[in-house]
Amino acid sequence: MTKDAIIQLKDVDVTFHNKGQTVPAVKHVSLDVNRGDIYGVVGYSGAGKSTLVRVINRLQRPTSGQVIVNGQDILAMKAKDLRQARTKIGMIFQHFNLMNARTIADNVDYPLKGGKLTHAQRKEKVAKLLALVGLSEKANDYPAQLSGGQKQRVAIARALANDPEILISDEATSALDPKTTTAILELLKQLNKDLGLTVVLITHEMEAVKEICNKVAVMEDGEIIERGDLVTIFSEPKQKLTQDFINTATQIDQALDKIYKQANALGLDDHHRLVQLKYVGASTDAPLITELFKRYQVVSNILYGNVEILQDTPLGNLVVVMAGEPDQLDQAWQYCRDAGIQVTQLKPNDSEVA
């Protein structure tokens, strides 16, 4: 437990009982989210992500465990305190959940009703919020007149109406095209930076996590199977599922697919090895390839290369065919490892040999 944690889940279990069936949706999950984090929770459908985040504002009461938000025990709260605490936890969803019969301004104004602000103050607040999400001109339009990305911006403005400290985003970009997704993620990042908003981002797409999160937890079958800061998870994933998510996000699996399909043309034998090289930070591919040739007369043919910048840290991925004498190949391999590069031999039949 860190002292900066704004959300602390301790050994949370959620078990549903449905028509004689028991569904353990969340199992023994402990999670600390620090103030200012953009914490990604990634997993396939049914992994328990939505159930887990609904525990944070007690939309879902856990079967057991503790939930502390802002130092307060959410599970022990009386209704009035819970209502107050919930105003500090905004939420956005995949399908926006806007009220279609009300204007954009009215949608954003809705959470302010019954609060302390006067009519004029509310009007000013709504105008500010719409400006914040770049939709000032749409104030008098109706949701049906907006694009998906614009609707999500309205939902974000509404979620921010009561100046929350936490924003929970439950698959908020899943219904959007890639360009709009990027714009919404950028907006979330901006709000995180400008307002100090803590964001919990639920998604089945590691691409979204890669864009803006500083931390990530991977969920499978109700459990968090791996977690850590973004760069560490991307550079040293331990679990197969995490690796799969990352390979999809970095598009390396598509590249490998193509390479494997043409494997015969690579003429792999004792003198050739198909390898994946992964490196973090300043190392670059060009000097490495030159060095392997100078030292061991190993020729490297690059089939795929990609550098991601994660949290300002470059993360490189290369797929190369190394050609040379077998013992020289071994030495080249060792040289890469000593240089802090992760080397994985790839077998075109898809089985990887470390």
Ligand X SMILES: Nc1ncnc2c1ncn2[C@@H]1O[C@H](COP(=O)(O)OP(=O)(O)OP(=O)(O)O)[C@@H](O)[C@H]1O
Minimum distance between the CB of residue 203 and ligand X, rounded to whole angstroms?
9
Q: Is 97 in the site for ligand X (CB under 6 A)?
A: no
Name the β-bridge partners of 93: 170
Q: Choose, by CB under 6 A, the member of 8, 29, 39, 51 that binds ligand X.
A: 51
Asked if 22 touches ligand X (CB under 6 A), the answer is: no
Helix/strand/coil for 296? helix
Within 10 angstroms of residue 158's Cβ, the number of other Cβ atoms is 27
Shortest CB 325 distance to ligand X, Å: 50
State in angstroms the smallest separation of the CB of 232 from ligand X.
Answer: 23
Query: Among the candidate windows 38-46, 117-125, 284-292, 341-349, which touches ligand X by CB under 6 A?
Result: 38-46
Among 4, 11, 16, 290, indicate the residue that binds ligand X (CB under 6 A): 16
In this chain, which stretch among 17-25, 97-105, 191-199, 326-334 interacts with ligand X, using CB under 6 A?
17-25
58 interacts with ligand X by CB under 6 A: no
Helices (H), 88-198: 104-109, 119-132, 148-159, 178-195
* DSSP structure class, residue 12: E
Nearest to 228 by CA among 3, 74, 31, 19: 31
If the CB atoms of residues 64 and 140 are measured against ligand X, the closer one turns out to be 64
Q: Which of 18, 22, 100, 264 binds ligand X (CB under 6 A)?
A: 18
Under DSSP, is residue 134 helix (H, G, I), strand (E, B) or coil? coil
Query: Nearest distance from residue 43's CB to ligand X, in Å?
Result: 5
Q: Does residue 41 bind ligand X (CB under 6 A)?
A: no
- For ligand X, the closer of residues 24 and 348 by Cβ is 24
Q: Which is nearer to ligand X, 63 or 283 (CB)?
A: 63
Q: Is 25 in the site for ligand X (CB under 6 A)?
A: yes
> What is the residue whose two structure tokens read 């709260």?
77
Nearest partner of 348 among 283, 282, 258, judged by Cα: 258
Which listed range, 46-54, 72-80, 241-249, 259-267, lies at the site for ligand X (CB under 6 A)? Answer: 46-54
- Type of residue at 236: E
Minimum distance from residue 279 beta carbon to ligand X (Å): 33
Smallest distance from the beta carbon of 33 to ligand X, in angstroms? 17
* Position 47 contacts ligand X (CB under 6 A): yes
| DSSP structural state of residue 76 | G
Upper half-sphere CA count for residue 207 (Cβ side, 13 Å): 14
Q: Residue 99 has what DSSP assignment?
A: -
Residue 45 near ligand X by CB under 6 A: yes
Query: Which amino acid is located at 63 in the chain?
Result: T
Q: Which of 8, 37, 50, 234 forms a contact with ligand X (CB under 6 A)?
A: 50
In 171-240, beta strands by DSSP E: 198-203, 215-220, 223-229
Site for ligand X in 125-184 (CB under 6 A): 171
Distance in Å, CB of 28 to ligand X, minimum? 15
User: 147 burial class (0-12, 13-18, 19+ CB within 10 angstroms)?
Assistant: exposed
Query: What is the pairing mode between strands 215-220 and 223-229?
Result: antiparallel
> Applying CB under 6 A, does 13 fall inside the site for ligand X?
no
Q: Which is nearer to ligand X, 43 or 324 (CB)?
A: 43
CB atoms within 10 A of CB 204: 15
90 binds ligand X, rule: CB under 6 A: no
- Rg of the Cα atoms in the chain: 24
Stretch that binds ligand X, among 16-24, 83-91, 261-269, 305-313 (CB under 6 A): 16-24
Residue 81: helix, strand or coil by DSSP?
helix
Question: Using the rule CB under 6 A, is 48 a contact of ligand X?
Answer: yes
Closest distance of CB 178 from ligand X, Å: 19
Separation CA 311–CA 234 (nearest Å): 11
For residues 236 and 71, give the distance between their C-alpha atoms in angstroms, rounded to a whole number.
33
**Positions that interact with ligand X (CB under 6 A):** 16, 18, 23, 25, 43, 45-51, 171
